[in-house]
């Protein structure tokens, strides 16, 4: 085969492989072993987040802001190409969808593509600790879709919120600069460790949520079973969370957001997770339930008995400290939503 044809053939194979990986990410689901099913007819954790992680879209976005070759999207939450952690059909789930651009895309498809591009841009800026400027976001969206900017930005920020548990906030109304703010006061704005990186807040909120719906105490095997459905495995390095076991059993325990203890009289030793003292002080059960509900595309009251418990917790916090609910979002009360 001539060299030129070999090159083209190789390129097509690479593109096919890339799309195959995207297809595998498209079906990533994360069942939550809830104590009870919501009363809503929609499944628990079946909110779709839109992202763009095909080879073509990555190249386009890189040309726009000089991002590295690594695609940073909510669809990449799986962090692996393994087939492990396949979903049980009888469990509720969260699906992360990839949207592949097409020359025959409808107007809605094009808007979805723009949402994916902006999503990548926002996460790249967060990772690099760079300010997010409105003028740059408008460049990403394009002049022809300037009027749709608020809708596109809202959808992109919501996609990021349900995966990473960070909120897009305007930090300077004069220069129109924004930042992604962690919902929890984890060190380095949710990164946990010093330096650059993506937020770990989503994993913490997820684990806290599983603990809560399991009756405020979750067996370690239940935690890893759930995280495995998200393709987050103990002992396997994850491109967002690093080594998940260290993050969950050591880092977040050291920071007092989680408690990790041996089950009394267990032989062989078994372990369980509880909320740590800092989580109890800073994060209300209602806020965790609201996060789970948003991920589930439902409402907190759909969680039945847990909702009643969360209401009681909210009332107790209000009596003890009127501003307790504000602790969840840290200093975000001084920020404004950009849409």
Whole-number pLDDT of residue 105: 53
Query: Which of helix, strand or coil describes residue 23?
Result: helix
For strands 49-51 and 96-98, give the pairing: parallel
Domains of the chain listed by start with CATH number: 110-182 (1.10.10.1200), 189-283 (1.10.10.1210)
- Above 60 in pLDDT, residue 124? yes
Mean pLDDT value across residues 108-137: 94
pTM, whole model, 2 decimals? 0.69
Model confidence at 284: pLDDT above 80: yes
DSSP-assigned letters across all residues of 207-270: HHHHHHHTTS-EEHHHHHHHHHHTT--TTS-BTTTBSHHHIIIIIHHHTTSEEEEEPTT-SS--
Which range has the worst mean pLDDT, 163-172, 199-208, 239-248, 329-338? 329-338
Q: Label residues 284-304 b or e (16+ Cβ within 10 Å = b).
A: bbbbbbbbbbbbbbbebbbbe
What is the pLDDT at residue 106? 79
Please answer whether residues 155 and 50 qualify as being in contact, where contact means their C-beta atoms are separated by less than 8 angstroms: yes
* Residue 317 CA: distances (Å) to CA of 1, 171, 302, 307, 323: 73, 28, 22, 15, 8
Q: Which candidate, 313, 49, 325, places its Cα nearest to that of 183?
A: 325
Statement: residue 10 has pLDDT above 90 = no
pLDDT at 1: 56
Place of tokens 């997010």: 132
Per cent of the chain over pLDDT 90 is: 57
Is the pLDDT at 35 greater than 50? The verdict is no
Tokens of 23: 């297809």
| Dist. CA 45–CA 243, nearest whole Å | 25
pLDDT confidence of 305, banded at 50, 70, 90?
confident
Predicted confidence (pLDDT) at residue 283 exceeds the cutoff of 80: yes
Please state whether beta strands 258-262 and 49-51 pair in parallel, antiparallel, or not at all (unpaired): unpaired
- Give residue 119's pLDDT: 96
Give the strand pairing for 218-219 and 271-275: antiparallel
| Res 5: pLDDT | 53
pLDDT value at position 21?
38
Inter-helix orientation angle 107-127/149-164, to 10° = 60
pLDDT digits (tens, 9 = 90+) for 291-300: 988 888 899 9
Tell me how crowded residue 148 is: count the other CB atoms within 10 A of its CB. 17
Give the list of residues 6+ apart from residue 121 with CB closer than 8 angstroms, or none: 61, 64, 65, 67, 132, 136, 137, 140
Question: What is the pLDDT averaged over residues 112-140?
Answer: 95
What digits encode the pLDDT tens for the residues 141-177?
A: 999 999 999 999 999 999 999 999 999 999 999 999 9
């Amino acid at each position: 085969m001539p060299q030129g044809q070999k090159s083209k053939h190789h390129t097509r194979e690479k593109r096919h492989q890339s799309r195959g990986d995207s297809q595998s990410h498209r079906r990533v689901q994360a069942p939550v072993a809830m104590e009870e099913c919501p009363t809503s007819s929609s499944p628990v954790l079946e909110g779709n987040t839109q992202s763009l992680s095909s080879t073509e879209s990555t190249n386009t976005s890189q040309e726009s802001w000089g991002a590295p070759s690594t695609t940073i999207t909510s669809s990449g939450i799986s962090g692996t190409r393994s087939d492990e952690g396949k979903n049980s059909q009888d469990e509720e789930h969260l699906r992360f969808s990839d949207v592949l651009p097409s020359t025959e895309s409808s107007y809605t498809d094009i808007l979805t593509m723009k949402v994916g591009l902006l999503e990548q841009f926002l996460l790249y800026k967060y990772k690099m600790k760079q300010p997010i400027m409105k003028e740059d976001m408008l460049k990403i969206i394009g002049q022809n879709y300037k009027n749709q900017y608020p809708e596109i930005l809202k959808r992109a920020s919501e996609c990021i919120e349900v995966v990473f548990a960070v909120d897009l906030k305007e930090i300077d109304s004069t220069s129109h600069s924004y930042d992604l703010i962690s919902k929890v006061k984890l060190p380095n704005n949710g990164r946990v460790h010093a330096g650059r990186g993506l937020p770990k807040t989503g994993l913490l909120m997820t684990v806290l949520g599983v603990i809560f719906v399991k009756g405020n105490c979750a067996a370690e095997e239940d935690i890893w079973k759930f995280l495995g459905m998200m393709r987050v495995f103990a002992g396997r390095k994850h491109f967002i969370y690093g080594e998940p076991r260290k993050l969950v059993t050591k880092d977040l325990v050291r920071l007092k957001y989680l408690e990790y203890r041996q089950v009394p009289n267990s032989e062989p030793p078994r372990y369980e997770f509880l909320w740590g003292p800092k989580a109890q002080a800073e994060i209300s059960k209602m806020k965790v339930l609201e996060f789970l509900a948003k991920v589930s595309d439902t409402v907190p009251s759909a969680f039945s008995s847990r909702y009643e418990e969360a209401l009681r917790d909210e009332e107790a916090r209000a009596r003890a400290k009127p501003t307790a609910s504000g602790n969840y979002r840290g200093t975000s009360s001084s920020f404004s939503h950009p849409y």
